[in-house]
Amino acid sequence: MIAHHPSDELLLGAAAGALDAGAAIVLGAHVEGCAHCRATLRQFEAVGGAMLESTEPVLMAPDALAKTLAAIDAPPPPVRPTAPPLPRPELPPGVTWPRSLAVCDVSRWHWMGPGMRWSRVTLPHAPDANVFLLRIGAGKALATHTHSGLELTHVMCGSFHDGRSRFGAGDFDAADGDVRHQPVLEAGGECICLATVQGRLVFDGAIARWIGARVGI
């Protein structure tokens, strides 16, 4: 049962095409598992349609239709063969990759502390987007941190409590620089989160800061 959804502003941003690439990936992972948010996204796209319909038209170039028809007559761009699936690090049994990651490169699991691993997600169309996976063992706690920018998180499996609320599989969270939290994993299995940060995580402790800097999240 999904308890935490993206805000209307984020979903509207997605419908408008105004999200940055990292946010679109993490939001996409939530939306593909959430009928509620798919319905909202469609409503907002319909708002876009209504906005388009009611926009005061402007003149097109005099030869616009002729040029468009010429472009239609040109051979369509070749359909490129589907690329073979990219290699993926292993996941716990029963956990599947969000389809929004399909074209992304996902690194192997790197050690970042006892019971904690992370993986870098690289977007071919936005290599500078800061997207990563965290994999934390049951009962462990991530160092207390805040964010220099907005942090978006999609829970792929497991659950944690960060002092504000409990987050389980399928849940979505947005935390900005006002939020200082320490996600603590619940018992009953490890937790994997897909996250993106606009800016950086800012950890409290010196060791955590060192790891954060090394990891580059």
Partner 1 sequence: MPTGDEWVELVRSVAVAGDRSAFAVLFKHFAPRVKAHLMRAGVDPELAEDLAQETMVNVWRKAASFDAARAQLSTWIFTIARNLRIDQLRRQRDANAAHEANEGADNVDLLAQVAHDAARPDEQLDAARREGAVREALRQLAPEQVQILRLAFYDEQSHARIASDLNVPLGTVKSRIRLAVGHLRRLLQGMEP
Residues between 152 and 181 with contacts to partner 1, criterion CB under 8 A: none
Considering the complex, state which of residue 53 and residue 90 has its C-beta at the smaller distance from partner 1: 53
**Binding segment toward partner 1, per CB under 8 A, in 42-50, 154-162, 163-171, 183-191:** 42-50
119 vs 134: CA distance, rounded Å: 7
One of 5, 6, 22, 31 touching partner 1 (CB under 8 A): 31
Tell me the sheet residues that pair with 184. Answer: 141, 161
One of 62, 75, 77, 94 touching partner 1 (CB under 8 A): 77
Residues between 94 and 113 with contacts to partner 1, criterion CB under 8 A: 99-100, 102-103
32 binds partner 1 (CB under 8 A): yes
Q: Which tokens sit at 84?
A: 């073979």
Considering the complex, state which of residue 5 and residue 181 has its C-beta at the smaller distance from partner 1: 5
68 binds partner 1 (CB under 8 A): yes
Judged by the rule CB under 8 A, the positions of this chain that interact with partner 1 are 8-9, 12-14, 16-19, 21, 24-25, 27-28, 31-33, 35, 38-43, 45-53, 55-61, 64-65, 67-69, 71-72, 76-77, 80, 99-100, 102-103, 124-127
